[in-house]
Amino acid sequence: MEFLQTCLDGLLFGSAYSLLALSFSLLFGVMKRVNLAFGSSLLLSAVFALWVDSILSVGIIGIFLVMLGSSAIINIYVEKICFYPHRGNYGAIVSMISSFAIWMQLDDLSSFLLPDRTASFPSFLPDSFFIIDLFIRIDQLFLFFIAVLMTGVFFYVLYKTNYGLLLRGVSFDGELARKLGVNSSRISSFAFAFSGVFGAIAAFLILSTESQVTPFFGFWCTLKGLVAMMLGGIGSLPGAIIGGLFLGLIESNVINYLGAEYRDICTYLILLFILVVKPGGIMGSAILRDERAASERI
């Protein structure tokens, strides 16, 4: 029963990792870009929403909406500053490094808005219940269902709409798409805004289950999202989901059976093992066959 409980906890929290990894995968799998500033943009949007709340007291729904909007705008800003100028085939490394600089900038902006270092974040549905001895928090269950729902939305947009089609076309050959009349820069700005909104929903749910925001949240998001993405398979969308859930399972079991101090060691050992045995990640065989993606893997 104890094992079941840890696995359940791991899966529920792992769904948050899945959401973060999906946002990374949208940009990596589709745009072939790594956005290191992503976590910081989520932190800044959360801190900004709290700041707006402290002035206008917009309430929890208001905080949520402000987070969505500001995250979309911040991500478009990041795209315009460090990805748009390097949108050719060989800009992957340059744009990754410049996104590192933007990461620092956004983190500094957040600490400017968060002078006390830590602020409490409003939580919603703080109840919990038991199913046959299994302890379940309602907000975590909610997080899990939202993660499932948003994964569906994600796949729908990418594979069933014109926009998703254009996005995949632009990612395959941006120059060709432009010659065929596709406004590539608008498509790619929208992809960043989309990943920002997506990440902001994830960040809101994670922060309200934790009920506090610290300056390390941005780094934490980037790290967990990237690790989950690498575990699951770089650039593969189903892989991002599996990687996130897997990461959650590993962490909760290690914390329960070995202790919290072994959590990161074990996570990275397993990541190392998977990257050695299967370099593309769990679901990554397909992406490795794609030479273009393989040559841009970082």
Six token digits for residue 274: 């998977």
Q: Does 254 bind another protein (CB under 8 A)?
A: no
Q: Does 178 bind another protein (CB under 8 A)?
A: yes
Which residue's CB is nearer to another protein, number 261 or number 291?
291
Q: Does 180 bind another protein (CB under 8 A)?
A: yes
Which residue's CB is nearer to another protein, number 77 or number 190?
190
Taking CB under 8 A as the criterion, the residue among 176, 258, 260, 272 binding another protein is 176
Q: Does 182 bind another protein (CB under 8 A)?
A: yes
Q: Does 181 bind another protein (CB under 8 A)?
A: yes
Only one of the segments 35-43, 162-170, 209-217, 272-280 lies at the binding site for another protein (rule: CB under 8 A); that segment is 162-170
Q: How many residues bind another protein (CB under 8 A)?
A: 20
Q: Does 155 bind another protein (CB under 8 A)?
A: no
Q: Does 163 bind another protein (CB under 8 A)?
A: yes
Only one of the segments 6-14, 67-75, 180-188, 221-229 lies at the binding site for another protein (rule: CB under 8 A); that segment is 180-188
Please state, in angstroms and rounded to a whole number, the distance separating the CA atoms of residues 167 and 182.
Answer: 10
Taking CB under 8 A as the criterion, the residue among 75, 99, 184, 189 binding another protein is 184
Q: Does 87 bind another protein (CB under 8 A)?
A: no
Q: Which residue has the tokens 């010659």?
A: 179
Which residue's CB is nearer to another protein, number 21 or number 166?
166
| Angle (nearest 5°) at CA 222 between 79 and 175 | 30
Six token digits for residue 235: 């650039």
Please state, in angstroms and rounded to a whole number, the distance separating the CA atoms of residues 71 and 49.
Answer: 10
Which residue's CB is nearer to another protein, number 117 or number 179?
179
Which residue's CB is nearer to another protein, number 115 or number 181?
181
The interface mask with another protein, positions 21-60, x = CB under 8 A, is: ----------------------------------------
Three-state SS sequence of the chain: CHHHHHHHHHHHHHHHHHHHHHHHHHHHHHCCCCCCCHHHHHHHHHHHHHHHHHHHCCHHHHHHHHHHHHHHHHHHHHHHHHHHHHCCCCCHHHHHHHHHHHHHHHHHHHHHHCCCCCEECCCCCCCEEEECCEEEEHHHHHHHHHHHHHHHHHHHHHHHCHHHHHHHHHHHCHHHHHHCCCCHHHHHHHHHHHHHHHHHHHHHHHHHHHCEECCCHHHHHHHHHHHHHHHHCCCCHHHHHHHHHHHHHHHHHHHHHCCHHHHHHHHHHHHHHHHHHCCCCCCCHHHHHCHHHHHHCC
Only one of the segments 61-69, 132-140, 145-153, 167-175 lies at the binding site for another protein (rule: CB under 8 A); that segment is 167-175
Which residue's CB is nearer to another protein, number 172 or number 257?
172
Q: Does 165 bind another protein (CB under 8 A)?
A: yes
Residue-level length of the chain: 298
Taking CB under 8 A as the criterion, the residue among 157, 255, 270, 275 binding another protein is 157
**Interface contacts to another protein, rule CB under 8 A:** 157, 161-163, 165-166, 168-169, 172-173, 176-184, 290
